[in-house]
Structure 1
């Protein structure tokens, strides 16, 4: 008589998110293709929503307003009552708070996702309904820097146990980045200029002021044009700094653009001069995927993403002179800029691929539930 090994089905997972981006969406699809029973509750206004619907992954649409959204919590509770899940994976604090509330009294593992440093404290009541909640089984950190930050938090005897923290990089695929590079002449950039691109939200911590000051450190005859992509166009202080700059006619605000990656792809250098609290910035990853040399500051997870002198240049934060020196170096040596850009592209392909994220996330689910 032949012995047949009985294999348990892989865990059933309910993913709670908002308007999920391409890496999240492809993670869900990859997990389903790997045999996991994955359902998603997400915002129907997201650009990847229809793809998830077409893949049969959307359990029901959901757009949470806040961490105490009663209707959203009821919708999650209703989904949990209709089907057995082994794991809830919540991809933002609102989803985490509502998912914890909806799953109260159920035997289910809760996994949280954390993509940034900061805003968690043992003295903050809202942290106790999210990441510090005792029913959170695991916190997936998008970078080691975030994992180290969470491990360092403490108050009296209280800490987040090391066993609760796991780093899983957010995965990408070079095949997603096939947009035709933008025509930068639209913004007044000459064809023979070295184009420097910076994309980011209108936030002081993004360091736009340091970048403007860095431009002022460059030689006056440097043929450099800077493109500031995003809602920083609405920042009056930054606009005033630009007006005062000797490079004012070579600094261009594009405003918010749906084709931001194509603008980065057409540039020679991509700069993100953040002052603090970065995870793994998507804008940097997109530029690297297009083979554009990155210059970043050594904050958060950026030194994990960009290997200094190998796949880009890493400088100290809040140091415009150092930032200017890195940009000037790439102006003088276009060959170096090209080599760093190609190495950056290879780094995304080899170390931040979506297949790795799928594998590590699936292994996490299996280790939590004992199902394999």
Structure 2
């Protein structure tokens, strides 16, 4: 019987969002396919507890910062675990892993997964990290891939765009009124929603400002998620005189599909850093009309006027007008939602993501073997 392939993920980020969810989804999916998976991350990282809850083997290592203790510990664990492949996710763990494995005799194949669209600085150090130390690079959007090839000069056959996959059985159209009853939401009013970590670049503040301008006095805005901007957003809501009957901040929610099914319109007014946001794909799979911005990989999923509406980032009047236009044309909104659903089903299943990632893993192993 063949020994299962050993895959090690590293994640230095302490936060929680689409990046961390992808790591868990991908890892658990690969475990079901018979691979040996493990995650190394700081004990204080949210993903540490979430991995434990989901049954993913996880170990605590001090890699939240680039320092010598973290480097030494990481090197020791890699030598002990002897993984075939290491997949890195954030800057800190990617650098520490590349350095920790640099002079190992039985060096694992490194894969760098780039989740966000922020440009990678062009310098010799990043050229080494992405082009030499990492045998394969995976991005969450085609635009990120193209920039790494064109600007950072990473060989095209070494970089792959693989959008995050979602469980299309879990995220699917459903009974809107039943969802509202379950969640205690009003039955007969327009409900606009966003599901995203409360970070500055997600554009929550623009959404709140646009909602305040909206000519729908009975509409409700639902903000699902938590994060560092929570107090700022609460202050903004209060300053605009929006009551709890108009804007509801729910905090982080486990049953995201139910919240999405309760909505009439999903809005993600991102300003920067996006790959292909998971929440966007989830909303598409729920057949929701979507208003968003052409940031990162979003326009790869949403064709404006066909499968959603895209507005200029930071343009609050345009955002408000787009939201109002969708709400005032329910049949047009349904058409946008059905077109988005078809895109999600065709391109964004978990199985598609896993199939493509397995191909990248096998190519990384072939390149490692050729280097030995």
> TM-score higher than 0.5 here?
yes
Counterpart of 1:27? 26
Asked if structure 2 preserves the Cα contact closer than 8 Å seen for 1:43 and 1:49, the reply is: no
TM-score by length of structure 2 reads 0.79
Secondary structure of residue in 2 paired with 1:134: helix
Within 5 Å, which residues of 2 pair with 1:41-56? 41-42=40-41, 45-53=48-56
For 1:257 and 1:10, locate their aligned partners in 2 and report how far apart those are by CA, in whole Å: 36
Q: Is the 8 Å Cα contact of residues 212 and 242 (structure 1) preserved in structure 2?
A: no
| Distance in 2 separating the partners of 1:289 and 1:30 | 19
Counterpart selection for 1:306 from 302, 306, 310: 302
Task: Tell me by how many angstroms 1:343 deviates.
Answer: 3.5
Query: Which runs of 5 or more residues in structure 1 are unaligned?
Result: 1-6
Cα offsets for 1:71-102 (capped at 9, x unmatched): 54344323332354332111222321221122
What does residue 353 of structure 2 align with? 357
Greater mean deviation of Cα atoms: 174-183 or 73-82: 174-183
1:30-81 Cα distance to aligned partner (Å, 9 max, x none): 334445444433466332324334xxxx2x5124442425454344323332
**Partner residue in 2 for 1:89:** 87
Residue 227 in structure 1 maps to residue 226 in structure 2: no
- 1:287-311 per-residue CA deviation (whole Å, 9 max, x = no partner) reads 3333322211111111122233333
Distance 2:348 2:52 in 1: 23
Residue matched to 1:143: 141
Q: Which of residues 8, 11, 19 in structure 2 aligns to 1:14?
A: 8
Q: Could you say which structure has the larger radius of gyration?
A: 1
Q: Report whether the alignment pairs 1:333 with 2:329.
A: yes
Deviation at 1:116, TM superposition (A): 0.6
2: CA distance, partners of 1:117 / 1:242: 32
User: Aligned with 2:187: secondary structure?
Assistant: coil
Count the aligned residue pairs: 350
DSSP 3-state at the match of 1:121 = coil
- 1:270 is matched with 266
Distance 1:217 1:257 in 2: 26
**CA distance in structure 1 between the aligned counterparts of 2:330 and 2:82, rounded to whole angstroms:** 57
**CA gap 1:302/1:312 in 2 versus in 1, 3 angstroms:** same
TM-score normalised to structure 1 length: 0.79
Q: Which residue of 1 aligns with 2:287?
A: 291
| d(CA) in 1 for partners of 2:143, 2:51 | 28
Relative to structure 1, the CA distance from residue 162 to residue 76 in structure 2 (aligned partners, 3 Å threshold; closer, same or farther) is same
Q: Runs of 5+ in structure 2 lacking a partner?
A: none
Counterpart Cα distance in 1 of 2:145 and 2:323:
31
Structure 1 residues 174-217: Cα deviation after superposition (integer angstroms, max 9, x where no partner)? 2334898355985xx64221101123344333223332343344
For 1:348 and 1:202, locate their aligned partners in 2 and report how far apart those are by CA, in whole Å: 24
Distance verdict in 2 for CA 1:35–1:228, change over 3 Å? closer
How far, CA to CA, are the matches of 1:272 and 1:260 in structure 2? 19
Local SS of the residue matching 1:344? helix
What's the offset of the Cα at 1:115? 0.8
Q: Residue 338 and residue 11 in structure 1: after superposition, are their counterparts in 2 closer, same or farther (change >3 A)?
A: same
Instruction: Find the counterpart in structure 2 of residue 4 from structure 1.
Output: none
Contact 1:23 1:354 in 2 (8 A): no
Structure 1 segments, 4+ long, off by >4 Å, are 7-11, 18-22, 69-72, 182-186, 247-250
Partner SS, residue 179 of structure 2: coil
Q: CA RMSD in A?
A: 3.5
Deviations 1:280-334 (A, max 9, x none): 2222223333332221111111112223333322222222232223212221222
C-alpha offsets along residues 218-267 of structure 1, whole Å, 9 cap, x if unaligned? 33x5542222334444116x73466336x667641415222472333311
1:168 aligns with 2:165: no
CA displacement at 1:137 relative to structure 2:
1.8
